[in-house]
């Protein structure tokens, strides 16, 4: 998708919306003053994790558990869930 051109005034007035579009839609903005592009607002490079588009391939690359390992894992999860005390959890 080509960059969207936006005036510096419009960028200032709608900055929160601009940032939301950059963050959640991947929109790139060229900010202009007069007829000159003075800045470009782009999504930040990921600092950790993987892109959502890569998640499926990543999960499929993981080693598979054998039947006995899967059963033991399931039992461990059930045991851990049974030990959670929701009455002791404090939410901020």
pLDDT tens-digit profile of 20-35? Answer: 999 999 999 999 999 9
Give dist(CA 8, CA 50) in Å, integer: 32
What pLDDT, on the 0 to 100 scale, is given for residue 89?
65
Asked if residue 92 has pLDDT above 80, the reply is: no
71 burial (CB, 10 Å; 0-12 / 13-18 / 19+) is exposed
Share of the chain above pLDDT 70, in %: 95
Mean pLDDT, range 53-60, rounded to an integer: 88
The domain ranges of the chain are 4-41, 52-84
* Cβ atoms 31, 40 nearer than 8 A: yes
56-to-50, 65, 66, 73 alpha-carbon distances in Å? 10, 17, 21, 21
State both tokens at 16.
């929160």
The pLDDT score that the predictor gives to residue 36 is 96
The residue-averaged pLDDT of 34-63 equals 88
At 18, the pLDDT band (50, 70, 90 cuts) reads very high
Q: Which residues sit opposite 32 in a β-bridge?
A: 7, 37
């Amino acid at each position: 998708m080509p960059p969207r051109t936006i005036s510096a005034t419009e960028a200032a007035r709608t900055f929160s919306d601009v940032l939301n579009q950059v963050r959640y839609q991947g929109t790139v903005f060229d900010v202009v003053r007069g007829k000159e592009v003075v800045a470009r607002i782009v999504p930040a490079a990921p600092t950790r994790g993987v892109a959502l588009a890569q998640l499926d391939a990543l999960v499929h690359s993981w080693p598979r558990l054998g039947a006995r390992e899967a059963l033991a894992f399931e039992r461990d999860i059930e045991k851990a869930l049974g030990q959670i005390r929701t009455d002791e959890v404090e939410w901020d």
